[in-house]
Amino acid sequence: MSPFKENYGAESPPLNEALAAMVRANVRAILARGRTPEQALELAGSALAWADHLIERFEAENPLPRPIVCQAGCYYCCHNQVELTPPEALLLGHYVEQHFPEVEKAGLKAKIAESLKIKAGKNKAEMARIRQELPCPLLREARCSVYPVRPLICRAMHSLEAGDCEQALRREDLSASAYYSHRYEIIRSISQGLKDGCASLGCQAGALDLVAALDNSFREPRPLERWIQGEEVFSL
């Protein structure tokens, strides 16, 4: 990975096969110890920890020529439509159940229902153009309410120019701003390894829309137990 590579286009980041293979092996090692809700949560938790560690280590060893300008309260990328793996969705649902009071859970479910209503029948490009109307339902006062367990892709998103993200959102501009490719390479590789490892062991593994996945996790009975045993918990 080149620490100085800045991209502007929307091409897919490269896949680090060695990293993906390590994540697949980690999935198998975790599930070899048993198929319990604890193991299901550990799958996502370990993937998120790997992502944070690798990004932090890479950027410590390779000082970036331009600083990343993201900061708390900058929520413009939180209007992007997020896809995640089933383990990540299950961890999010569990976090909400454990940390949100009932009134906040009810408010979140109402936001999810409204978002799903707006998104109904639209493809990805159409949703991207109206993303001003589709803030992440997990935003609370312009901050992520689940930051410790936010999805992998959210850990990749960043900006090198203050104001670019806000302007792009306001203008409904779909062109990409400058970004460093190493973050997306790390995240893509971990996500692919997580999906491949889960699929190889008979667990639902396809990419999920965050909002729909949260809706499923709240509506479906015992989602952790059922998913880890190979049932399809999430609608695609």
Q: Can you tell me the mean pLDDT for 159-182?
A: 81
The residue extents of the domains of the chain are 23-228
pLDDT in tens, 201-211: 999 999 999 99
Whether the model pTM is above 0.85 = yes
pLDDT in tens, 111-137: 999 999 999 999 988 998 899 999 999
pLDDT value of position 97? 97
- Asked whether residue 155 carries a pLDDT value surpassing 90, the answer given is yes
- Asked whether residue 3 carries a pLDDT value surpassing 80, the answer given is no
pLDDT value of position 177? 77
Instruction: Mention every residue, 6+ apart, whose C-beta is less than 8 A from residue 181.
Output: 1, 2, 5, 6, 7, 13, 14
